[in-house]
Structure 1
Amino acid sequence: MSINADIVAIIKESETIAVVGASRHKEKAAHEVPEYLQSNGYKIIPVNPFADEILGEKAVANLGKIDQGVDIIQIFRPSEETPKIVAEAVKLKPKLIWLQLGIKNEEAKKIAEEHNIPFVMDRCLMMEHTKIFGRDKNIRISEL
């Protein structure tokens, strides 16, 4: 199943992605995916209360600490945590909320939909990006 044209347009037009659960550990998808997105021109805002900096960007403890516009909020947290995160995310009025591959929650989806924010779950943003734009030289094939 492919993502719809509206979601593709948002990905193409977006500049800033807040990554909730971004990791300092290079072997984790929560590091590799934002690293890939950063290498493809997106500004990454890492959201991690246990890090000062990730991928050369100042990390913030939570979404409430973000003081700028955000186009996409990507979430790398356990499914059961996502309703609370999405409830905070909608306050930033992003164009899209994205739950990474393996993360699903219908309650979180309902919260986003109630605020008319497009919502994707259980999909890899890096994989979808490569389908839209083609493979980048920086991509780790093991992730595809």
Structure 2
Amino acid sequence: MGGCEIPEKNATNQEVREILKSAKTVAVVGISHKEERDSHMVAKYLKDHGYKIIPVNPKYKEVLGETCYPTLKEIPEHIDIVDIFRNVDAIPGIVDDAIEVKAGCVWMQLGLAQNEAAEKARKAGLCVVMNKCMKIEHARMSN
């Protein structure tokens, strides 16, 4: 596998708007407790804008005042969006977990795209956003 790919197919602006409008819970996979990290800043922004954040990282018990889970499979509630902040090589496994827990959407952050995993997610009924930042898209669509 290796580096980031160019998305062969991606959500349109209208689809992104609908995803952001309808979603309530966002599992942030690969979140860091370090405030200067993108994953932390994006999660804090989303939490400040009314989304329920579910941190996912086996290193932590809690991030941003929320219980942190080691994997998506341990989360005891429905996940609307799986927001991925991990190395591109980890994406296929995360997508498999997102499909298994019946998440609504897989969102690969800015700089992340994996076409094979994206196609697998779409075939399983999940919407897919690649190479976009939720914080940037939310702020852009709020204007």
Fold shared, TM-score > 0.5 on shorter chain: yes
The amino acid across from 1:19 in the alignment is V
- Equivalent of residue 115 in structure 2, options 90, 106, 117: 106
Gaps of 5+ in 2: 1-9
> Are residue 82 (structure 1) and residue 91 (structure 2) matched?
yes
The amino acid across from 2:41 in the alignment is E
Measured after TM superposition, the shift of residue 44 of structure 1 is: 0.3
Counterpart-to-counterpart distance in 2, 1:32 and 1:38:
10
Measured after TM superposition, the shift of residue 104 of structure 1 is: 1.3
- The structure with higher relative contact order (CA 8 Å, sep 6+) is 2
Query: 5 Å matches for 1:62-141?
Result: 62-134=71-143
- Equivalent of residue 7 in structure 1, options 16, 24, 27: 16
Secondary structure at the aligned position of 1:8 is classed as helix
> Are residue 56 (structure 1) and residue 65 (structure 2) matched?
yes
Gaps of 5+ in 1: 135-144
- The aligned residue for residue 36 of structure 1 is 45
Question: 1:18, 1:45 within 8 Å by CA — same for their partners in 2?
Answer: yes
> Could you say what the CA RMSD is over the residues aligned between the two structures, in angstroms?
1.5
For each residue in 1:53-78, what CA deviation from the matched residue of structure 2 results, as whole angstroms up to 9, or x when unmatched? 00000000001101101111100001
State, as a whole percentage, how many aligned pairs show the same letter.
38
Measured after TM superposition, the shift of residue 10 of structure 1 is: 1.8
Q: 1:23 to 1:17 in 2, by over 3 A?
A: same
Point out the more displaced range, 40-49 or 92-101.
Answer: 92-101
TM-score normalised by length of structure 1: 0.88
TM-score normalised by length of structure 2: 0.89
Measured after TM superposition, the shift of residue 13 of structure 1 is: 1.4
Counterpart-to-counterpart distance in 2, 1:94 and 1:85:
11
Question: 1:17, 1:42 within 8 Å by CA — same for their partners in 2?
Answer: yes
- The aligned residue for residue 7 of structure 2 is none
Counterpart-to-counterpart distance in 1, 2:102 and 2:86:
20
The amino acid across from 1:93 in the alignment is K
